[in-house]
Structure 1
Amino acid sequence: MTAADDLDTITERWAALQERAGTRPATTWPPVMGITRLMTDEERTAHAAERADTDPDAPGPRPTPVDINVLDVMTTIETGLVTAADWLANRIQRPAFVAPTGRGWSDDVHRAAVLLAAKDAADARRWKYTGSRTAPDAAEWLACRLRDQPGPFRKLDAGERQAVAAVATSCAGLIRKTLGDARQRAYVPHPCPVCDGQLVVEGGDGASPVVLCEDCGRTWTEAPSNAA
């Protein structure tokens, strides 16, 4: 997958990220799974209390139905992409034409020059430093530059391509991780019940999560639900 493809992913999945941010988090990472069987009684009690607090039927005020963690991710991505676009545009974007003034519209050559300058300044392919500056706007613009699409720009040099690619890969990775497209790995703060070794949990990519011991190699998976 190229850096331009990563930028396409951001553009295509931004709406899904916005939707995720506007809802209560449906899952946690690492997943609880059978890890609760490895918890102490105090930790199980605290976990149950947390579940009760988020139950929509429980008494008391409800938490704001917004996922702050996803909002933080969106802010990080948008800041990174817009900053990259500002930086790149300052390097490769040609300034708009400037027409001479004071010659009036009766001069055909002057009139044509003014119109040409206005059209060049309003070229939709230009990166704008004001107005709409969203993550999808920046991602699409950067992808076009990586693909050397025509416009009032010079082509990117190797260093500029590497810099944009680094931002694209990082931001696309954040989106995949947040939306559950990327497999994650985290340490479990409880020892293996068999050998006291280090437990890790892997998942988060849509596949069933797995707990495994790095020392003895034993694994645990979530038991299937018997619910119809």
Structure 2
Amino acid sequence: MTTTATNLRSIALHWADLHEAVGAPAQHGAFGLGLRGYLAALDQLDAEQAEYERHQAAHLRSLERSIDQLGERPAPIRLSILDTMHTVEAALVDCADQTAAAVQRSPMGYAPRSWPAADRARRDQLARADALDPRRWRYRGHRTAPYAALWLLGRVQHAGGPFTALSEAQRAHIGTVAAGAAERVERALDIAAQRRTLEQRHDCGGAIDIHGGEGRAPLAHCTGCGRIWTENGTVAA
């Protein structure tokens, strides 16, 4: 069974891959893409392409209006990957915010002015070090998806620091967020085997299962009549 720790590590590990994939051409052998012409349930991809074309058209119009902008055109981006990154990052940072609010101890207070000078200096030094502890989650500044994933990993694995132990409810919440985020990352990069049963049924009444992922060309299989579709059409019936 995939653990929360494994999911959090996977997100941190593959975040650079998502950055690269944003500007990379779409992989038409990826899960579901090659069946677009045969299965109407996958027409969401056409909507994503239309959205991309709308953005590109707006960009070209802006170039036509300003001669200063002529020259090298920016490479097109894959909006579905960018949306995945925004969604995953928002979910992980929000989860870290909630977790830190519950388990992160407040920094040590500074010494009262009434303390002897030597004692006050030692206490203030400890207070400054506690406030600047790099293990603390910050509510501003460096708040990225991989950093949030690794910080949450530390809490799940009981790493040291100014924290109390997670409750079962907090651990379960992190697990749910991590699983959903990892699944989105893996689906965007097509690095996990996937199987999906469409709501739409075949003419024979059988259910249509789609198999793909892990870089393999997708195929669809009717559980009723046995027909199989690939990117190039029907291969068996």
TM-score category of the 2 structures, normalised to the smaller one: 0.7 to 0.9
Q: Is the 8 A contact 1:99 1:114 kept in 2?
A: yes
2:147 corresponds, among 129, 137, 143, to 137
Instruction: Determine the C-alpha separation between the residues in 1 that align with 2:104 and 2:171.
Output: 15
Instruction: Determine the C-alpha separation between the residues in 2 that align with 1:66 and 1:222.
Output: 24
Taking a change above 3 Å as real, the CA distance of residues 189 and 165 of structure 1, as seen in their structure-2 partners, is: closer
Q: After the TM superposition, which residues 49-88 of structure 1 pair with which residues of structure 2 at under 5 Å, given as runs?
A: 65-88=76-99
- 1:122 aligns with 132
Unaligned runs of 5+ in 2: 40-45, 54-59, 61-72, 233-237
2:228 is the counterpart of 1:219 = yes
Q: Residue 218 of structure 1 aligns to which amino acid in structure 2?
A: R
What is the deviation of 1:5?
1.1
- 1:209 aligns with 218
List per-residue Cα deviations over 1:124-158 (Å, max 9, x = no partner): 00001111000011000000000001110011111
Q: After the TM superposition, which residues 102-181 of structure 1 pair with which residues of structure 2 at under 5 Å, given as runs?
A: 102=113, 107-181=117-191
Q: Secondary structure at the match of 2:217?
A: coil
What is the deviation of 1:103?
6.0
Instruction: Determine the C-alpha separation between the residues in 2 that align with 1:102 and 1:147.
Output: 39
- 1:32 aligns with 34
Instruction: Determine the C-alpha separation between the residues in 1 that align with 2:199 and 2:21.
Output: 26
Q: Is the 8 A contact 2:89 2:145 kept in 1?
A: yes
Aligned residues: 202
Instruction: Determine the C-alpha separation between the residues in 2 that align with 1:196 and 1:153.
Output: 56
Taking a change above 3 Å as real, the CA distance of residues 25 and 186 of structure 1, as seen in their structure-2 partners, is: farther
- 2:70 aligns with none
Q: Is the 8 A contact 1:30 1:186 kept in 2?
A: no
Q: Residue 24 of structure 1 aligns to which amino acid in structure 2?
A: P
List per-residue Cα deviations over 1:199-224 (Å, max 9, x = no partner): 4432123233222113212324456x
TM-score by length of 1: 0.77
Unaligned runs of 5+ in 1: 40-46, 55-60, 224-228
Q: Is the 8 A contact 1:20 1:70 kept in 2?
A: yes
Q: Compare 204-213 and 114-123 and name the one that shifted more.
A: 204-213
What is the deviation of 1:111?
0.6
What is the deviation of 1:6?
0.5
Instruction: Determine the C-alpha separation between the residues in 2 that align with 1:147 and 1:216.
Output: 49
Q: Is the 8 A contact 2:97 2:139 kept in 1?
A: yes
Aligned-CA RMSD value? 3.1
Taking a change above 3 Å as real, the CA distance of residues 81 and 169 of structure 1, as seen in their structure-2 partners, is: same
What is the deviation of 1:21?
1.3
TM-score by length of 2: 0.74
Taking a change above 3 Å as real, the CA distance of residues 162 and 199 of structure 1, as seen in their structure-2 partners, is: closer
